[in-house]
Amino acid sequence: MSEHDIHLHFEELDGNGPHIMMLHGMLSSRAQWELNLAAIQKVARPVVVELLAHGRSAAPEAPEPYDPEYYVATFEAIREKLDIERWFICGQSFGASLTLRYALRHPSRIIAQVFTNSSSALAGEEYLIAYRNTAEQRAQLMEQGGKEGIKELPIYPGRARRLPEAARDALVRDAELLEPRGLAQSFRYSSPYLSVRDEAANTKVPTLLVCGAAEKRFQPNFEFAVANIPDIEVVEVDAGHAVNIEAADIFNDAITEWIQQHS
């Protein structure tokens, strides 16, 4: 993959220790990590990546870049461009499905991984069938409704009620950068194919799940992860989907301790 094929915006931040790639979820941005970066920079050097059509990343028209395997190839291209031999990875929600896949494909490049609540990452066939049946409908909502259509989605950050006001405002500001046509491609070519449930037992890198236990929808996938991902470690927190924001102090302690343990 050439430099021109890297459609994702990424930033290498200052810090002490090994690098850690950090990838947010759907309708989010690098603002997802605003309450975490200062703590992480004490023990690692964050590389903050934004999804296609999100934040400062491109929104290609072609379907190929939205394929989860293309994302994995792009992560490898970013690692090589930054001349990083091995790094930590951290994924949230949609982003977690991609980082878990990356760890499965390139375990020798991953020191250890962290992920948070992600229904898409470990979705079963029943969920996937239902999602595929609505993917085109959501895509057309993006294409026809534009930026106003984005605000109709249940996961639009302005609808979040559990987030601290400043964090929510930062996500809403970055939501203005979302590209509706690119999101439509994400609904068509990314979301229905994100699950790594059938491969989870093949995970070969140390794995930490920081789980927002208040999100009941994630509970079946949480139980599956604990039962099937080898040697997984878990920190359960009284928080919802965006556990790294809702319980930032606990998340920060967990991830920094994990990085120090495996560095």
Highest mean pLDDT among 119-133, 142-156, 228-242: 228-242
Largest CA distance in the chain: 49
Q: What is the pLDDT of residues 82-134, one digit of tens each?
A: 999 999 999 999 999 999 999 999 999 999 999 999 999 999 887 778 778 88
177 inside domain: no
Residues in the chain: 263
Structure tokens at 36: 């975490």
pLDDT for 135: 87
Which residues face 48 on adjacent strands?
11, 22
47 inside domain: yes
148 inside domain: no
Distance (Å, whole) CA 56 – CA 243: 24
DSSP-derived pairing of the beta strands 45-49 and 10-12: antiparallel
pLDDT exceeds 60 at position 3: no
142 inside domain: no
Total domain count for the chain? Answer: 1
158 inside domain: no
234 inside domain: yes
pLDDT for 48: 98
166 inside domain: no
pLDDT exceeds 70 at position 61: yes
CA angle 203, 204, 208 (to 5 degrees): 75
Q: Provide the residue range defining the domain that includes 48.
A: 3-124+194-262
pLDDT exceeds 80 at position 1: no
CATH number at residue 223: 3.40.50.1820
Contact 205, 90 (CB under 8 A): no
Average pLDDT rounded to a whole number, residues 148-163: 91
